[in-house]
Structure 1
């Protein structure tokens, strides 16, 4: 039995992220009615949104049938520009030995894109600070980018410089650039100030991007150092006063010299009292200093607050999972700021904390979940996102490859849906100086 098939695609250049329609023709040159099993072969069959199995195509003897095959190119830096060969395997149902594999080339075009991010969102220092800028070429062609950095406020007393301002990155390549911030006008004392700094990414063939971080300018003389200095100066002055007092060597006056002044005995007693008071003050200061040092040692080993930005991802696609959880680490409790939801497909999202369901909403229109202040899971308790993916309604299904008149339609596309929950909050120690009590329910 002879089998002939032909695969054609448009000659246009296709940019990754766009779609095209391939055309497959199959001739039945036998004398019997036959059906042909169609399967996509090559890179398009491995892409996430592809359906490799195209179903069966019946063809009458001496005739041919044509089907359209939609192909969506993923916007991925690994998809290199140039011709991309793929094929369709056509196998006879009546005669398994009759197989044809027609091929075609997709002309893949270039696309340019890049991402920029600061390594640390906040740095600090009285005179200077350093940070790293992470730049990644997410396009599929070599990109030349330029970096500019400056404080957001024009009156900021800072000078910011980059180690490199021009980068040439291959597709998928990532670069880290050092950044130095110097303080032009230091503060001797006072309250620390926050200065936002913006990094601009300029591209030749794509839209510009930006990222930011904050430099916290600290005073040269912190409050606790200033207090210690004042106490030390006070102690020196008190010692000098005692040194030049009558007890320190100055000749006391005789009671007979002035009828109005104190007697010699009273002057000596008063000087001894001052000396005893000064000694007592020195002992109290020494005890306070020892107690403060003890507190500082305890605070150094205590758990500290940490910012949390965690993503939970669920998907009904092959290899995905319908439930994802985050477990609060030992020694902490989680204080929520926001739970942001995104999703696609048809189904229902559920958010639960410590086994109690807090939210239920459709995948098609997710929105931010408001967590009550009294809900604060502690160590080893879970925040769970799970997905109930449901079949789409009639008329809402994604189109599947369609056959021309007289041919049977291939099976519909399986149901898929995805969802992501971004948990933004703060991990607070359960014990120690950095712990904070949970607000009671109102």
Structure 2
């Protein structure tokens, strides 16, 4: 028995993030009432809002039925502009050998978007400072962006410059731009001042974005050094007054040299030098202690590395899930060491990491999956395992003689899969962060 089905979609260009409705028509050219199992095939089956199993469609003999399939395109830079082909697998319940797979093309449009962020929220210096601007093209088309930077306050004594002000980025590409802040009016002494600096990102086909950081202008002579200088000058003046003042109505006489060693003047100078050295050493120890305490507090609050051993399981049995995933927690990226895959039943297991499909294997002969070192999912990205069971070919229970109106999917042979995710959670920022090594 032949099976005829037709799939159509709107001819308009659909921008990622928008929705569309596909139309499927199925003709029953047999002499009996039949129902048809519908499966979504292709990229839309893996989109977050799509369901691969579309259920059953009953059709009377000599008639045809129409079903509307709503789809929502994800706003993702990996969804390239142009035609995107997908299909619907239509299989007869009465005759499993009767299968049709009509195809259609979605015209995917372009969208432009970009993000900007300062590498450090706060920098400081008496004469100058430097920082990095992180720019990422989150759209699906090549973008040309321009950067402008200036202090937030018009009276700020700063001059800020960018190494590059114009960038051309491919979809998903990131760039780092060096930024230099120069102090035009230094402070000799006094209290440090904070100056906010704003970076603006401009695009031709999309709204702009902005980021900011703070430059802390420090004085040329810090307070501890100034205090030490004042104390040293005061001590020197007091010593001079005491030395040259008359004692008992007579001027003190300076001994040329005693038989025991240095003169009176040399002894006083040595004693004064010892006091100054001891005081300087105490100040240095106090500064080192304060810096160590500040570092210990920062390290105590920073995120730490964590070992991960997570099992993800899927099954087509009642009460089971056809898809399961693990989401990378906030502030971390996942360095995947191994994906140990196993399964059973007449189905296909799909493994996706950060939106990239790494493997599609038969459940009964599933093997471990190798993950490239450069593919390291970040916070809120997922490692997903999905099972797609094939409908039974023969030997299944006999369907009811009339059309089904319950909308429930047909009976499927049980298939299941498990992946053991082994890796390490590494902080994105802080002292425990580790850069991703580029491919050799």
Which category of TM-score, normalised to the shorter sequence, fits these structures?
0.5 to 0.7
Give secondary structure in 2 for the equivalent of 1:23.
Answer: strand
- What are the residue-to-residue correspondences of 1:230-309 with 2, within 5 Å? 230-238=230-238, 240-241=240-241, 244=244, 262=248, 264=250, 284-302=275-293, 303-306=295-298
Deviation at 1:304, TM superposition (A): 3.6
2:405 is matched with 408
The structure 2 residue matched to 1:319, chosen from 310, 316, 324, is 324
Aligned residues: 313
| Residues 146, 201 of structure 1: 8 Å contact kept | yes
**How far apart in 2 are the matches of 1:108 and 1:225?**
65
**How far apart in 2 are the matches of 1:174 and 1:323?**
21
Tell whether 2:160 aligns with 1:160. Answer: yes
**How far apart in 1 are the matches of 2:302 and 2:240?**
58
1:173 is matched with 173
**How far apart in 2 are the matches of 1:29 and 1:103?**
20
Deviation at 1:282, TM superposition (A): 5.8
- What are the residue-to-residue correspondences of 1:73-92 with 2, within 5 Å? 73-92=73-92
Which stretch shows the higher mean deviation, 227-236 or 72-81? 227-236
**How far apart in 2 are the matches of 1:229 and 1:217?**
22
Give secondary structure in 2 for the equivalent of 1:306.
Answer: helix
1:341 is matched with none
Instruction: Note the aligned Cα RMSD (angstroms).
Output: 3.4
| Residues 54, 410 of structure 1: 8 Å contact kept | no
Change (3 A) 1:178 1:409: farther
| Residues 56, 408 of structure 2: 8 Å contact kept | no
Q: TM-score normalised to the size of structure 1?
A: 0.64
**Any idea what the Cα deviations from partners look like across 1:261-293, whole Å, max 9, x if unmatched?**
x455x9679xx9999998876655444333333
| Residues 200, 209 of structure 2: 8 Å contact kept | yes
Give secondary structure in 1 for the equivalent of 2:324.
Answer: coil
Which stretch shows the higher mean deviation, 165-174 or 278-287? 278-287
**Any idea what the Cα deviations from partners look like across 1:341-391, whole Å, max 9, x if unmatched?**
xxxxxxxxxxxxxxxxxxxxxxxxxxxxxxxxxxxxxxxxxxxxxxxxxxx
1:197 is matched with 197
- What are the residue-to-residue correspondences of 1:45-194 with 2, within 5 Å? 45-194=45-194
Q: What 5-or-longer segments of structure 1 have no aligned partner?
A: 248-261, 311-315, 327-405, 413-426, 428-442
Deviation at 1:325, TM superposition (A): 9.8
| Residues 44, 86 of structure 1: 8 Å contact kept | yes
Q: TM-score normalised to the size of structure 2?
A: 0.64
1:259 is matched with none
Deviation at 1:208, TM superposition (A): 1.1
Deviation at 1:235, TM superposition (A): 4.2
